[in-house]
Amino acid sequence: MKHYRVLAFAASFIALVLVAPSPAPADLGLDVSPAKLELTMTPGTTYNVPITVHNGAAAATHVQASLVDFGVANNGDYQIERAGSRKYSLMRWASINPREFDLASGNTQQVRLSLALPKSGLSGEYAGIAFFQTRPVRRAGAVALSVRVASKFYLTIPNTVKIDGAITKMTASGGSAGEIYRVLFKNLGNAHVYLRGQVLVKKGDDTVEQLPMTDEMLVERGGERLIEVSGKALAPGKYMVIAMIDYGGKTQTGGEIVYNKK
């Protein structure tokens, strides 16, 4: 497989970004703000992050807070792990107060996430999640219900962020129903990225098909993403399959393979 890069605009990092709250099911009514927070801190400093938890349900509830690490598998599924277990865990330096509380209907609770960074040995980005979960509510003729909402955190160390990535593998296969093109992207930088791109299928100088990839595919620091794109059935022959991915860096990444359709 051939690799190449194409110039693109560099992505910039925002020091502090608050995003809209993450809603819970309407009948349970728990939400949290911010749902996502990106911040920058210098090693050796401390910072208290205010988190607001709101109970929009008709009944009071009991809420428990927990801190976890997370990753994203190459199919896009989240992987939740114990705080401090991942290499780039933010939550190993975090504490939360209060850890549990009662919350009346229509009321809010202010929670403090405290971050205390070590003085050295840090670079790039660290991440983690704060979960807020209600005590299960038992209903007649139904299973017990509980809701869990999340606030996701990214922290970067100033002047150390590197955005980089590459297509490391491509395959093509299929039959009479259509062709399947698979592209493996690896995050070579030290912060999370979002992907968008396309696959071109060419026969000689002619473009047979132009297939868009799903937008905003998340790839965490050190992670990979396997992208699968479906195309129309091709007549037997020799084709060139070209993939291009924009990951938000100074360059795009590209790859190409020869596909001999039998």
Query: What does the DSSP assignment read for 134-191?
Result: EPPB--TTS--B--EEEEEEEEE-TT-----EEEEEEEEEEETTEEEEEEEEEE-SSS
Closest CA to 174 of 193, 199, 198: 199
Asked if 40 contacts 85 with a C-beta cutoff of 8 angstroms, the reply is no
Which pLDDT does position 141 carry in this prediction?
63
DSSP single-letter state for residue 209:
E
Q: Which pLDDT score is estimated for 140?
A: 64
* DSSP letter for each residue of 101-140: EEE-TT-EEEEEEEEE--SSS--SEEEEEEEEEEPPB--T
* Residuewise pLDDT in 10s, the chain (262 residues): 766 555 443 332 223 333 333 444 445 589 999 999 999 999 999 999 999 999 999 999 999 999 999 999 999 999 999 999 999 999 999 999 999 999 999 999 999 999 999 999 999 999 999 999 998 866 666 666 789 999 999 999 999 999 999 999 999 999 778 999 999 999 999 999 999 999 999 999 999 999 999 999 999 999 999 999 999 999 999 999 999 999 999 999 999 999 999 8
**Domain 17-156: which topology?**
Immunoglobulin-like (2.60.40)
Please answer whether residues 46 and 155 qualify as being in contact, where contact means their C-beta atoms are separated by less than 8 angstroms.
no
**b/e for 31-40, b at 16 or more Cβ within 10 A?**
bbbbbbbbbb
* Prediction pTM value: 0.86
What pLDDT score was predicted for residue 135? Answer: 85
Beta-bridged to residue 30, according to DSSP, are 55
CA distances from 140 to 137, 143, 144, 160 (A): 10, 8, 9, 55
Within the chain, all domains assigned CATH 2.60.40.10 are found at 17-156, 162-261
Q: Confirm or reject CATH 2.60.40.10 for domain 162-261, answering yes or no.
A: yes
Going by the DSSP 8-state scheme, the letter that residue 89 receives in this structure is B
